[in-house]
Amino acid sequence: MAGEAMARRLRVQGAVELLCAVLLPVVFLRVTGPAAGAVAAWVAVDAALVVGACYWFARAAKASRGLARTPNLRAFASARVGLIVVLGVTLVVVVADIVTGGGFAQWFAAAVWLFAVAEYVNYFHLQLSYQNAADLRRLIRRGRLVPAHLGRELAHPARHAGSLMDT
């Protein structure tokens, strides 16, 4: 029963990530227009959000089916490398747009690109996002950021086998 409740929570997290991937760029691009840097910044953010959504859906499958490991960890390892490439390519576009335009839209696009970097770090290195009061209490008690869930699973897949409540 606890596994299914956890699975529901994780599916909601995945759905929210996908919703953000669709709605946020629509709003942002209506404000800034379709400048190259703005589009590139959102490509980077959306790539990270989609990987994040897929991870939460995979964790939900692990919880609901009682699997020992999160499915598709190899795909997430590849996604980590792919996101680094996406961040690098989109950075070039964002910087080129700043150099040629340098207006509000270009600088705002740079801030959005930094959000993509934060999402990458949040999934693969350090947990930056805390979803509930219990998470915040743990953060305050520890006094430091903790390693990201996906990053831990990729670094030590055997250690996380069977752990449903590690979210």
Cβ–Cβ under 8 Å, residues 127 and 145: yes
Band (pLDDT 50/70/90 cuts) for residue 159 is low
Task: Check whether 66 has a pLDDT greater than 60.
Answer: yes
Q: What residues pair up with 147 in beta bridges, in sequence order?
A: 126
With contact defined as beta carbons under 8 Å apart, do 135 and 148 qualify?
no
Q: Among 15-19, 73-77, 113-117, 127-131, where is mean pLDDT lowest? A: 127-131
Average pLDDT, the chain: 87
Percent of the chain with pLDDT over 90: 59
Average pLDDT rounded to a whole number, residues 82-109: 94
Tokens 């029963």 belong to 1
Q: What does the pLDDT read at residue 127?
A: 79
**Residues 29-61 pLDDT 10s:** 888 888 899 999 999 999 999 999 999 999 999
Give CA–CA dist 67/90, Å, rounded. Answer: 36
Per-residue pLDDT for 167 more than 60? no
Q: What is the pLDDT of residue 163?
A: 43
As a whole number, mean pLDDT of residues 90-117 equals 93
Lookup: tokens for 103 = 């207006």
Q: What is the pLDDT of residue 164?
A: 39
How far is the C-alpha of 98 from the C-alpha of 155, rounded, in Å? 37
